[in-house]
Amino acid sequence: MSVGLSEDDQLFSCSVWRPQGKSYLFFTQFKAELKGTKIEYANAFSETAVTGQRDVPLKPDEFTVGESTVTQRDGKFSAQLSKLTVIGRTRHEEL
């Protein structure tokens, strides 16, 4: 798992993944939730990148991105999740 903050402190990211890529373990469901902010971007991947290759995203109909959650779509999710990335906007208050 990794958590990051943009250089301007406006966005943060959270990624959860399997460093080895595919596994014999399968997820039957998943959910990520951001509290206190809205999701700006989210994506789920069936395979994580290995040298010289890119992450392989899940099909768009396998998961749903809501205002503050990312979750599997029942009956559509193929139970192959290797990585989940969510980006949200930080709270910012003017003085």
Distance of CA 57 to the CA centre of its chain: 10
pLDDT digits (tens, 9 = 90+) for 42-68: 999 988 877 677 888 999 999 999 999
**pLDDT above 80 for 24:** no
Q: What are phi and psi of 62, to 5 degrees?
A: -85, -15
pLDDT band at 27 (very low <50, low <70, confident <90, very high): confident
For 61, the 3-state DSSP assignment is helix
Question: What stretches of the chain show up as alpha helix (H) in DSSP?
Answer: none
Q: Please state the rounded mean pLDDT for residues 62-87.
A: 94
Instruction: Give, for 6, the enclosing helix (H) or strand (E).
Output: none
Res 40 pLDDT > 60:
yes
Distance of CA 29 to the CA centre of its chain: 13
Burial of 20 (0-12, 13-18, 19+ CB in 10 A): exposed
